[in-house]
């Protein structure tokens, strides 16, 4: 197999590794970097469990090759809590019971994190559309939507918006 050197920034740290050209970004994150919070669900972009932020945009890492992320900034769920303090989204999922098995949660949080940057004061319908690329088999989505609403309100209050 052909090896390629790839350098990218993951959660604020520059990493360089030799990878096979066909290695998926999700496998690079989980296997080479041991960041196992990014989950593998379907390998077809259907579920969103593998969602990470690449240059600030949500990407389903099961369909991106690691070599395609060359030079990119990648953010995984491991970077969301700062200094042991939960991000308002994580807090919202806790407070509003937005998870059951938790398998979809990292991808949901990464998608919602970028969504709230674009739309800091979303309606319920906007939230539902914003997370429509992420599947949950447990919650029925109501509690997830409530968790994202909680985070939006908290982020607005922290920013002095209310």
How high is the pLDDT of residue 161?
Answer: 60
Say what the pTM is: 0.94
Q: What is the pLDDT of residue 1?
A: 65
Per-residue pLDDT tens digits for 79-136: 999 888 999 999 999 999 999 999 999 999 999 999 999 999 999 999 999 999 999 9
Q: Find the mean pLDDT for residues 56-85.
A: 96
Q: What does the domain layout of the chain look like in residue ranges? A: 3-79, 88-158
Cβ atoms of 113 and 155 within 8 Å: the answer is no
Superfamily for 3-79? Beta-grasp domain (3.10.20.30)
Pairing of strands 73-75, 3-10: parallel
Mean per-residue pLDDT, 23-51: 95
CATH class name, domain 88-158: mainly alpha
Greatest Cα pair distance, the chain, in angstroms, is: 56
Per cent of the chain over pLDDT 70 is 98
pLDDT number for residue 101: 94
Sequential DSSP letters for the chain: --EEEEEEEETTEEEEEEEETT-BHHHIIIIIS--TTS----SSSSS-TTEEEETTEEEEGGGSBGGGGTT-EEE-GGGTSBTTBPPHHHHHHHHTT--SS-SSHHHHHHHHHHHHHH-SS--HHHHHHHTTTS--SSS-SHHHHHHHHHHHHHHHHHTT--
């Amino acid at each position: 197999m052909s090896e390629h050197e790839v350098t990218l920034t993951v959660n604020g740290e520059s990493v360089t590794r030799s990878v096979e050209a066909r290695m998926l970004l999700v496998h690079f994150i989980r296997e080479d970097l041991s960041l196992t919070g990014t989950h593998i669900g379907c390998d077809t972009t259907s579920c969103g469990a593998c969602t990470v932020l690449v240059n600030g945009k949500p990407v389903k890492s099961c369909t991106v090759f690691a070599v395609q992320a060359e030079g990119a900034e990648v953010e995984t769920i491991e970077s969301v809590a700062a200094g042991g303090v939960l991000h308002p989204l994580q807090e919202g999922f806790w407070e509003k019971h937005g998870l059951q098995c938790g398998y979809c949660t990292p991808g949901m949080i990464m998608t919602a994190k970028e969504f709230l940057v674009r739309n800091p004061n979303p309606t319920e319908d906007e939230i539902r559309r914003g997370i429509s690329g992420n599947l949950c088999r447990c919650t029925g989505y109501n509690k997830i939507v409530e968790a994202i609403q909680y985070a939006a309100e908290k982020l607005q209050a922290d920013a002095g918006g209310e």
